[in-house]
Amino acid sequence: MNQSAHRFFCQNIEAGMLGEEETGHALRVLRLGTGDIIQLLDGNGTSALAEIIDESKRGLRFQVKSVLKNKIETPDLHIAIAPTKNIDRFEFFLEKTCEIGIRKVIPIRTRNSERKEIKLDRLQKNLISAMKQSGHYYLPELTELTDFKQLLKSELSGYQQKFIAHCENDQEKQLLSDLLMPAKKTLILIGPEGDFTPEEINLAKENGFVPVSLGNSRLRTETAGIVACVTAQLKA
């Protein structure tokens, strides 16, 4: 696969056409045209080399030259995290964890959350951009904003490891790096700027979540999420 070709996101490679937004980037920013070779990613492991055969603002048409199905290499890590009041910081978290390697992000609404809604389309674009830049072939799943208690009521039995990272004094807490086992499906809860409430922490424990520390420093929400992701990657 030619890694020097410009990379574009195309969910349906078989359709033979780039979407409007990716087309705009190809035509107006990169000045690509008929005969140029591009690399396509569907976000689900498939990559393809294709030649542009027709240009229009509605969509670039291409002809696929070769296709490759790539193995997933990131740990099976899911992080449920409270979006930050400053959305730029949450977007930074998404970008960096996508680059490092994460399978799923579940934005959660907690008692102390300062952000009660998110624009999923905008955040999805951030993930797509990070996937293309980082060289990954799989796009992390991003869910709708979910109430914390509702998340705990959902089916979580598929997880082999469940952790809650919080800042309260808790004799049960151990370092995540000491407890995290490689090659296991893992869910980590990260709270908002004001942390989880004691009630939320206890509720998580009752639902099988093990309390963990991410180190001696008190970390911002987005930093805590990135540290958790790095820890999982190093354990993989």
The pLDDT assigned to 129 comes to 96
Cβ contact 172:200 at 8 Å: no
**Mean pLDDT for back-to-back runs of 10 residues, the chain (236 residues):** 79 95 93 95 97 89 96 94 97 98 98 96 97 95 97 94 93 94 95 96 97 94 98 91
The pLDDT assigned to 56 comes to 82
How many other C-beta atoms are found inside a 10 Å radius of the C-beta of residue 160?
12
Cβ contact 84:222 at 8 Å: yes
The pLDDT assigned to 4 comes to 57
Please give the Cα distance from 177 to 102 (Å, whole number): 16
Please give the Cα distance from 91 to 122 (Å, whole number): 9
Query: Which CATH superfamily groups domain 6-69?
Result: Hypothetical PUA domain-like; domain 1 (2.40.240.20)
Three-state SS string across 42-105, please?
CCECEEEEEEEEECCCCCCEEEEEEEEECCCCCCCEEEEECCCCCHHHHHHHHHHHHHHCCCEE
The pLDDT assigned to 235 comes to 87
Listed by start position, the domains of the chain span 6-69, 77-235
The pLDDT assigned to 59 comes to 87
- CATH level 2 (architecture), domain 77-235: 3-Layer(aba) Sandwich (3.40)
Please give the Cα distance from 30 to 55 (Å, whole number): 13
The pLDDT assigned to 166 comes to 95
